[in-house]
Structure 1
Amino acid sequence: MNPVLLTPGSVPLADWRAVYRGAAVTLDPACAPRVAESAAAVARILAKGAPVYGINTGFGKLASVRIGDEDLATLQRNIVLSHAAGTGAPSPVPVIRLMMALKLASLAQGASGVRPETVALLEAMLVKGLTPVVPCQGSVGASGDLAPLSHMTATMIGVGEIFYEGERLPAAEALHRAALTSTQLGPKEGLALLNGTQFSTANALAGLFEAELLFRSALVTGALSTEAAKGSDTPFDPRIHTLRRHRGQIEVADALRGLMTGSAIRASHLENDARVQDPYCLRCQPQVMGAALDILRQAATTLEIEANGVSDNPLIFPETDEALSGGNFHAEPVAFAADMIAMAICEIGSIAERRIAMLVDPALSGLPAFLTPRPGLNSGFMIPQVTAAALVSENKQRAYPASVDSIPTSANQEDHVSMAAHGARRLLDMADNATGVLGIELLAAAQGVDFHAPLASSATLESARATLRDKVPTLEDDRHFHPDMEAANLLIRSGALLASAGDSLPGVA
């Protein structure tokens, strides 16, 4: 994977995706003068002697407390230590690496007042693979993701823990092993590092990237299920979708039609099928999946903008030596985007589960009951469908919008919060659930197509089916089902299923 060069303010979504997938990160050196000027502006502002929030005052409800020059370094250290109050399991390393890269790109825009050496340390930690241990809970997505970002920042001053070379180490030890030195934070720096939406945004972007993989995989499994049920491709006729005009719907119909082109299974019953219309889970795939694609793209637009923005407070304007307090740390845009992604993930799994249920029902599919050659003696796909239903129901419960919730914090100073961190943090678990559903559908659809031998599906879908059959044989009699499901899930999660189908399906961006 090619390394990513972060150009602050104009990083494309594809680069953030690459960072999440493990690409190395470096910072565009052209941003250095702006960073240095921003730090110099903080020094000039301090020299004026006026109270400036977060630089020589307390924080939040304590903003009216003036801090003397002799305590400014202690002030920044204290905010980091006191705000590192997260709880729960460590966040996934890919998410925290992405969070660090987002913070790096934000600071490097020269509106945060941090020194060049502080930016350089954060970059060096990314380059050398030091990932702070950041508890996953503790942010309400309002005055920035304070607790998670504080845990990140604490490691930069030698406090806390870091994942490094496969070990979980005290921060000071990890920095020493990597030949790095902890820093003492200067005026404004602690606040700049722990204020912002980067934790919420990183989790939301991770959810978006996994949702995109799920969406594209579901087109393949959905087309294969349509073949297994000998469903019609008439509902995918472009004339139908052109009249409705939704871009996603048009693209999904085109993709499904392309996946099924050349199918001998479909050709075998064009004139003999007594069914007038298929169930919605087959017929309405363009409408459901197209709508999911459209809102994923909308979420992607929001998150790309957020990822390239500056969201700490106050913001430094060197041209006028001003520190302006505002509310860019409020993560409402991220919360809305996360809610949209959650709904899309939920619906992708929901319609897939309905296709599984249709395939195991002989009255609907025309296939042997529960997709086993000898039903009764064998249960076949009976319980995998139940598992799929359980996963979908769990995702339905998790898909309730987080952004409509709020709870006042900081003695009512922060009286309306976004809950973006909650909304974004659930997405990877929801994606895992949906992957499990699609894995079961892949197994069921391939089993259904097996019953139509010697007729074959399209070359594309047969390639996808062959990829599965390399790992999982046809189910003749009942066997331990869990390993089959895990193998199918891995094909989806790794992208191998998409690669076998040509990987030319529509994506988010």
Structure 2
Amino acid sequence: MIVRVANGEAVAVNGESLDRVARAYAVLLQGAKEGQEIYGLTVGVGWNKDRKMVDAEGELTPELMEASREFNEGLLRAHSVGIGPDTVLPVVRAAMAVRLNNILTGGPGVQPHVAEMLIAFLNKGITPIMPSRGSVGQADMTLLSHIGLAMIGEGEVDYQGRRMPAADGLKAAGIEPLKPFGKDGLAILSSNAYAAGLAAIAIHDAEQLLRTSRLVYALSLEGLNGNVSPLLEDVAKLRPFPSHLSATAELRSVLDGSYLWQADDKRILQDPLSFRTAPYLLGTFADSLSRAKALVEIQINSSDDNPGIAVGAEPKSDLAQARRGYVDGGAVLPTANFEPLPWVIAFEELGIVLAHHTTASSERVLKLNNPTHTKLPRYLGTENTHHAFLVVEAPLMALATENRMLAQPVSFDSRPIAGGVEDVGTNAPFVMERVRAQIDNSFTIFSMELLHAAQAADLRLKEHPERKLATATASFHDAFRQKVPFLDHDRSMTPDIAAGSVFLKGYALTN
């Protein structure tokens, strides 16, 4: 859903969700009226948490409301220190969609108008201009604050394809600027919605990569005239890792009907490891991706706010500290829920898996180019070529190297800030961006493998026309050949590689 909204789909929110937002806001106000110290409302944030900002004990007078508004607007302005290139608009929409979903849980405790404005922004085509750098990954406050600026009519927005001052965009869309109160400002900026939006997009793209890389590998195995013995069910059961059992079953299905299941005296007993161990890589990829997706879904469908509002919660103990923060209707509770480490670590693991996956892909290409392994012409050429796929190996290895570099962990590389209070970080956006770069590189690497796999399959079938590809790989091969023709004469491979990447990104969506 996040990816569909990122790409322009409107959102619809039911009344029950908006009612939950209103009830959470009432709990927050009740806590303030009872004189609670509430981070971001009655006291400051970060190192300034010891400073009293708004005296909310008692009734919420007009003077107090105005003081809170000034504090909230100042909070948004002061945190708007993002740097670097502008975030692309779909990612900003993803961040807003994630944050809206968080808010609808009630956990942030904002005015209902905050949720209503995010809905209007997404549905009326108002996208704040937001920098892409400056978050250390313990809430993306330096970036998301720019969304808050737009909500109060400051900064810039893209309104239906035109960049303009936020005030003009709001006026054109018929939206009144937000008058933030309570902890609206803190709730808008203090979340991991930017990194989570990136993560949601990465998960979507990685699922596409997994589907198509499975087909690429199967076609490569057919191009090699490889041995299917490592895919047999009884082989997998000898070492029954669940992900390996699943991967071998999927590959047996993909290769159903392939000539590889028929006898061939010239087929070698042991293929190179990049072919033999591919089921382990595909299974590990699927396993890692599933784990990352499950954790991101928790992040998107919950609240990472501090303090957090627990609507309807009651004390679980009579101890004074355990009862602190509870009021009639719920509780206002200090948290560390802005910590994204569980899913950040999962994405670092996914990055390592991607590096292994593309290293193996690049090695399979080298083997397909080598007649020692294929018994086909060197570099899969024809009598009309001089170089064929010789030079493709250079960009292939460059991208595989880049993917290994991008897989190096960075989540622990942080320094204390905010007077030493914020003394750990995760670099969550950086981790997500690196994995997204790896995924994009991976589509290109598998495009290059597909070029070779399809060429090898064509040469082999030309030599043995009685042989047949599997039903799934034949369909895949034929669809690819509609985009990239057989290489019979030397030509620039750059357009073919780009076309293959686009093909892989879209194939499973329409076939």
TM-score, scaled relative to structure 2: 0.90
Separation (CA, whole Å) in 2 of partners of 1:196 and 1:261: 48
| Stretches of structure 1 lacking an aligned partner (at least 5 in a row) | 1-14, 501-509
Spell out, residue by residue over 1:295-347, the C-alpha distance to the aligned partner (whole angstroms, 9 max, x if none). 11111111111111110111234553342212101111231122122123222
Pair 1:469 & 2:478 matched: no
Q: Which has the larger radius of gyration?
A: 2
Aligned-pair distance for 1:281?
1.3
Aligned-pair distance for 1:358?
0.9
Partner of 1:200: 195
Structure 1, 276-285 or 23-32: larger mean CA deviation: 23-32
Aligned-pair distance for 1:237?
0.3
Separation (CA, whole Å) in 1 of partners of 2:88 and 2:437: 11
Separation (CA, whole Å) in 2 of partners of 1:433 and 1:312: 34
Instruction: Give the secondary-structure state (helix, strand or coil) at the position aligned to 2:391.
Output: helix
Instruction: Give the secondary-structure state (helix, strand or coil) at the position aligned to 1:380.
Output: coil
Residues 200 and 334, structure 1, Cα contact 8 Å, conserved in 2: no
Residues 225 and 267, structure 2, Cα contact 8 Å, conserved in 1: no
1:33-72 aligned at under 5 Å gives the runs: 33-68=19-54, 69=64, 70-72=66-68
1:437 aligns with one of 445, 457, 460 = 445
1:257 aligns with one of 252, 261, 280 = 252
In structure 2, relative to structure 1, the CA distance for the partners of 1:267 and 1:64 (3 Å cut) is closer
In structure 2, relative to structure 1, the CA distance for the partners of 1:256 and 1:86 (3 Å cut) is same
Instruction: Give the secondary-structure state (helix, strand or coil) at the position aligned to 2:174.
Output: coil
Partner of 1:98: 94
Residues 201 and 334, structure 1, Cα contact 8 Å, conserved in 2: no
Letter in structure 1 aligned against 2:349: M
2:358 aligns with one of 344, 349, 353 = 349
Residues 227 and 269, structure 2, Cα contact 8 Å, conserved in 1: no
Residues 21 and 111, structure 2, Cα contact 8 Å, conserved in 1: yes
Letter in structure 1 aligned against 2:164: L
Letter in structure 2 aligned against 1:489: S
Aligned-pair distance for 1:34?
2.0
Separation (CA, whole Å) in 2 of partners of 1:274 and 1:468: 26
Partner of 1:5: none
Spell out, residue by residue over 1:185-232, the C-alpha distance to the aligned partner (whole angstroms, 9 max, x if none). 112100011111211111122212211111111100000000001001
Pair 1:367 & 2:376 matched: yes
Residues 208 and 300, structure 1, Cα contact 8 Å, conserved in 2: yes
Aligned-pair distance for 1:104?
0.8
Aligned-pair distance for 1:22?
4.5
1:201-216 aligned at under 5 Å gives the runs: 201-216=196-211
Pair 1:419 & 2:447 matched: no
Partner of 1:10: none
2:500 aligns with one of 488, 492, 496 = 488
Residues 446 and 465, structure 1, Cα contact 8 Å, conserved in 2: yes
In structure 2, relative to structure 1, the CA distance for the partners of 1:125 and 1:20 (3 Å cut) is closer
Partner of 1:446: 454
Structure 1, 65-74 or 308-317: larger mean CA deviation: 65-74
Separation (CA, whole Å) in 2 of partners of 1:45 and 1:365: 73
Q: Which runs of 4+ in 1 moved over 6 A?
A: none
RMSD: 1.9
Separation (CA, whole Å) in 1 of partners of 2:116 and 2:285: 40
In structure 2, relative to structure 1, the CA distance for the partners of 1:45 and 1:490 (3 Å cut) is same
TM-score, scaled relative to structure 1: 0.90
Aligned-pair distance for 1:168?
2.5
Letter in structure 2 aligned against 1:234: S
Identity of aligned residues (%): 30
Letter in structure 1 aligned against 2:444: G
1:283 aligns with one of 255, 276, 279 = 276
Separation (CA, whole Å) in 1 of partners of 2:393 and 2:337: 45
Separation (CA, whole Å) in 2 of partners of 1:313 and 1:497: 41
Partner of 2:57: none
Residues 207 and 341, structure 1, Cα contact 8 Å, conserved in 2: no
Pair 1:230 & 2:225 matched: yes
Instruction: Give the secondary-structure state (helix, strand or coil) at the position aligned to 1:89.
Output: strand
Between the two proteins, the alignment pairs up a number of residues equal to 481
Letter in structure 2 aligned against 1:309: S
Letter in structure 2 aligned against 1:88: G
Instruction: Give the secondary-structure state (helix, strand or coil) at the position aligned to 2:403.
Output: helix
Letter in structure 2 aligned against 1:141: G
Residues 215 and 348, structure 1, Cα contact 8 Å, conserved in 2: no
